[in-house]
Structure 1
Amino acid sequence: MAAAAAQVLVSSLVLMMVAAAAATYSYPDQPTDYILLSRLYRRGPERAQCIGRNRKCRLMVLQCPWQCPDRKSTVQGKQSCFIDCSPKCEATCKRRKPNCRGYGSVCYDPRFVGGDGVMFYFHGMSDKDFAIVSDSSMQINAHFIGKRVQGRSRDFTWVQALGVMFGEDSRSLTVGAKKVGVWDDEVDQLVFTYKGEPVVVPAGANSVWTSDSGDVRVERIAETNSVELAVEGLLSASITVVPITERDNKIHKYELTRDDCFAHLDIQFKFFNLSSAVDGVLGQTYRPEFHNPVKVGVPMPIMGGEDRFQVSSLISADCKSCVFQAQAQAQAAASSTITDMGLGMEVATQCSSNSGSGGMMCRR
């Protein structure tokens, strides 16, 4: 009995100490799902306490592994600590910048790796927008930039911006790369909007912008040009702005000039709670019955379907294959327009609603 009472007393003291530490060592600019605690040792791993809505993780103290003790690695190529208070309740090592060979990646000109693990290219068209993912709960579009070289039958293309819509009120979030002449790694080239208004994500690695509702978060994962975007319960994405290098320009004969290095996005998505009716260039590859039509083993397997996936703007859902249920915008046939935010385009907020939904599932 005495031993049991002592154990209860120790547990109570531990909880009180954790609460006191959280109050003492919290930082106002950290993500809303956890607060930082003091390190147990001067050079020990970072620690955090979960404070989000996930009851499984709430008040749990997570410590970064010794292999990656810091959320920001100061060594090029070394993994950083990723604190996940929803849904896994763990701190793990991971390279937070996009893995262009990993599932859900969209990189280069542009090359996709689908939810089925198959790599393919989707060329699209320059200055056009295409549905990357369209589901009953969200829509992700991409704005393509590019150029036509003399003698070629198609454009070289890259993804310059993403538009995300979600929720019954069809809230919108955009992230894009500015048009850049000569590239400088020290200058940040990312621009953001939320619900049609410009968003400023504070400078510096690990700084965070969070929506007023708390379910949208943008965290810088480097001093400049790299962020992790998350919409609670729907998706997370690692995004980095990169230029076309002089070496790539020579190898691929893009014929770029010094007035535009075609800065574009490398992206890797992770999705939660996709339905079995999900569509879009990338989204379709997450359907359980999907059979990828591309020719595996050829140097450049091409995925077609531009006519199925093209949308009228970065934040519209009017493609032939779109399944996003945009109730609020379906009632408003014509909405306002977002001012050009340095992306070189206007973004109409008009959406249409097509039928199509299915049982809930979660894949890679």
Structure 2
Amino acid sequence: MFYFHGSKGRDFALVSDTNLQINAHFIGSRPNGRRRDYTWVQSVSIKFDTHTLIILAKKAAQWDDLVDKLLVKWDGEEVTVPFDGEAEWKTDTGVREVVVERTDDTNAVKVTVGGLVSIHMKAVPVTKEDDKAHNYQLPSNDAFAHFELQFELPNLSDDVEGILGKTYRPGYVSPVKRGIAMPIMGGEDKYETSSLTSPLCKLCRFQIQSESATTTATATDTDIGISQY
């Protein structure tokens, strides 16, 4: 577990491999007297082969658990994830099956891109209790809807990059301080991208793949507290 500050209103590469790019857009706030932003992940893009999948938590002035705030886009077009039946949206690219499956009545999905990644995503607000406890000084007309994320990444290369991706390299040793409650991971300059869907950063490795591209398997999974402090 580690934390990554990033910066509000900016985009960063979480994972960048030759056949997979996962970016995140950060929202946040900087209270008076603080030198760094408080930030949260508001949307995620997944690029693979020739496709892009985006999952976004829509802005909410006031949070209501009964109101779904998720927005899903496939190759630039909004798609609907049903609430009934199998409660999932899926497509088959001919090489990979892509599934967005609801895991709760609202605001929680499991996103799977066959052979590459699964992400459990839950949209949540910053609570009034958290706001008060951490002195976020958030405005009363924005719940700062953001995602809690859990990743499974079964097919990464040994040269994978990204804020999260580099931690999967063989022999990786974390630079964060051990034994503290909130270890901080740096890398803002290395992994910032120009947009949510851009595969370009100083260390990014993604290359547009043909639909028949294959990868090497190294099964693993992780939880990440990626941007709360």
TM-score normalised by structure 2 residue count? 0.90
Question: How far apart are residue 327 of structure 1 and its match?
Answer: 5.8
Runs of 4+ in structure 1 off by over 6 angstroms are none
Query: Match of 1:208, as an amino acid?
Result: E
1:362 aligns with 2:223: no
| 1:300 positional shift | 2.2
State the structure with bigger RCO (CA 8 A, min sep 6), 1 or 2. 2
Gaps of 5+ in 1: 1-118, 329-358
3-state SS in 2 of match to 1:198: strand
Within the candidate set 127, 145, 148, 1:266 is matched to: 148
Aligned residue in 2 for 1:98: none
The alpha carbon displacement at 1:203 in A equals: 1.9
1:151 aligns with 2:33: yes
Structure 2 matches for 1:1-364, cutoff 5 A?
119-167=1-49, 169=50, 171-204=51-84, 206-213=86-93, 215-326=97-208, 360-364=216-220
Deviation, structure 1 residue 258: 2.1
Quote the sequence identity (%): 49
Q: Secondary structure at the match of 1:121?
A: coil
CA deviations over 1:185-212 (Å, ceiling 9, x no partner): 0000000100011111112484110125
Aligned counterpart, 2:227: none
Q: Is the 8 A contact 1:133 1:281 kept in 2?
A: yes
**Larger helix percent:** 1
User: How far apart, in 2, do the equivalents of 1:206 and 1:227 lie?
Assistant: 12
C-alpha deviation, 1:256, in angstroms: 1.6
Q: 1: distance between equivalents of 2:181 and 2:103? A: 33
C-alpha RMSD of the superposition: 1.5
Which is strand-richer, 1 or 2?
Answer: 2
Other structure's SS at 2:81 match: coil
Deviations 1:226-284 (CA, angstroms, capped at 9, x unpaired):
01100011011111000011111110111122210100000101011110011100011
Deviations 1:75-95 (A, max 9, x none): xxxxxxxxxxxxxxxxxxxxx
The equivalent residue for 1:38 is none
Going from structure 1 to structure 2, the CA distance change for 1:156 and 1:212 (only over 3 Å counts) comes to same
| 1:90-133 deviation per Cα after TM superposition (whole angstroms, max 9, x unaligned) | xxxxxxxxxxxxxxxxxxxxxxxxxxxxx211100000000000
- Maintained 8 Å contact 1:126/1:144: yes
Letter in 2 for 1:137: N
